[in-house]
Amino acid sequence: MSRILVTGGAGYIGSTATAILADRGYEVVVFDDLSTGHADSVDSRATLIQASLLDPEALASALVGCEAVIHFAGKSLVGESVEKPELYHHVNVDGTQNLLDAMATAGIDKIVFSSSAATYGQPVDDPITEESIASPTNPYGASKLAIDKMITAAGISAISLRYFNVAGAYESTNGWLPERHNPETHLIPLVLRATAANPLKIFGTDWDTKDGTCIRDYVHVVDLIEAHILALGALKPTVHEIVNLGSGGGYSVREVIAASEQVLGRTVPTVESPRRAGDPATLVASIKKAKSLLGWTPTRDLVTMISDAVKSQVQ
Ligand code: UFG
């Protein structure tokens, strides 16, 4: 049974990966400073090491006996990154350099990295392919692109997975693993908690899209983690691949609201609001490379993402 180090394994996506890897028989070591993650999200079969990427000794001891790393840890709020660019560079870029250095010392040369569609910035292509220009428009995206370049320079076996909009939840043997961000900024959790007193703000209704609201490519977190497991098996010596992960199609904000109303069986209170700074109108992934390189096809649709998010929040 192979042992995998999962950095950021107490966060929404990392804890889902940890539970699914444990279900598949992997031995999982979670490395997380719990600055935004939750210890009670970590599957009981995993070992939790509470430490920061900025602590090289802790990284060295966590890597002992590991065959590969899945690297989720990092700061991940676009808005916060604009206010605190140095923090994002320090934790994400310097922290990942520490991880790569510790891996080199330990002789571990396999990594699957949680990159982001934010590396592309304002898209010039629709859909966005891995060859599309990467020109991030915020420090969060810049940090992810810098890490992708560092991984290439390291010359190890690597796959960077560029996520589009991740949603839904996984029901593990310990219960549902909900999306728990504080503050919550993501559309689907905010739609589910909207009330008449606190309606969902629709950020912009005058975009150049079919209904005037932004279009995004939503992918179920369980499909997303399936791609990570396939990526572990697709690593090739000294090759670094970059792969987009979305569903290959887009939904507008209004379509997400309509699908949520269908799942909830009630109206979602909304208020039309100004555009949010930095939002592109449309972000849709080409997932041809994920299909050809990983043999991956997402199978869970938008209604499944929303209904799993609902179940995870009411357990
Ligand atoms: N939206 C609203 N109201 C809200 C929240 C969001 O209308 O209260 C809209 C946004 O304007 C956007 C869509 O819903 O059009 C999705 O917004 P999210 O905040 O859920 O997701 P983003 O597309 O902004 O962000 C995602 C990832 C980021 C990543 C980014 C890349 O969550 O980590 O894509 O651009 F950086």
Residue 162: its H or E element: strand 157-163
Give the list of residues 6+ apart from residue 197 with CB closer than 8 angstroms, or none: none
Exposure string (b/e) for 206-215, b if CB count within 10 Å is 16 or more?
Answer: ebebeebbbb
pLDDT at 52: 98
The per-residue pLDDT of the chain, averaged, comes to 97
Alpha-carbon span 41 to 308, nearest angstrom: 16
pLDDT at 164: 98
Residue 3: its H or E element: strand 3-7
Confidence of residue 1 (pLDDT cuts 50, 70, 90): low
**To test the ligand 1 pocket, which listed residue (36, 88, 186, 195) has its Cβ within 8 A of the most ligand atoms?**
186
Q: Which CATH class is domain 3-169+219-246+288-298?
A: alpha beta
As its CATH architecture, domain 172-215+250-282 has Alpha-Beta Complex (3.90)
As a whole-number percent, the residues of the chain with pLDDT over 90 amount to 96
User: 272 forms bridges with which residues in the sheet?
Assistant: 202
Cα–Cα nearest to 138, from 162, 125, 120: 120
Domain ranges across the chain: 3-169+219-246+288-298, 172-215+250-282
pLDDT at 277: 87
Q: In this structure, which residue's CA is closest to atom 25 in ligand 1?
A: 165
Cα–Cα nearest to 109, from 158, 163, 175, 165: 158
106 alpha carbon to ligand 1 midpoint, in Å?
Answer: 38
26 is catalytic: no
Alpha-carbon span 116 to 88, nearest angstrom: 14
Residue 228 predicted with pLDDT over 70: yes
Residue 260 predicted with pLDDT over 70: yes
Asked if 273 and 206 count as a contact pair (C-beta separation under 8 A), the reply is no
Q: In this structure, which residue's CA is closest to atom 15 in ligand 1?
A: 214
Residues with CB under 6 A from ligand 1: 76, 78, 116-118, 140, 165, 185-187, 190, 200-203, 214, 216, 253, 276, 279, 283
Q: What is the mean pLDDT of residues 298-310?
A: 98
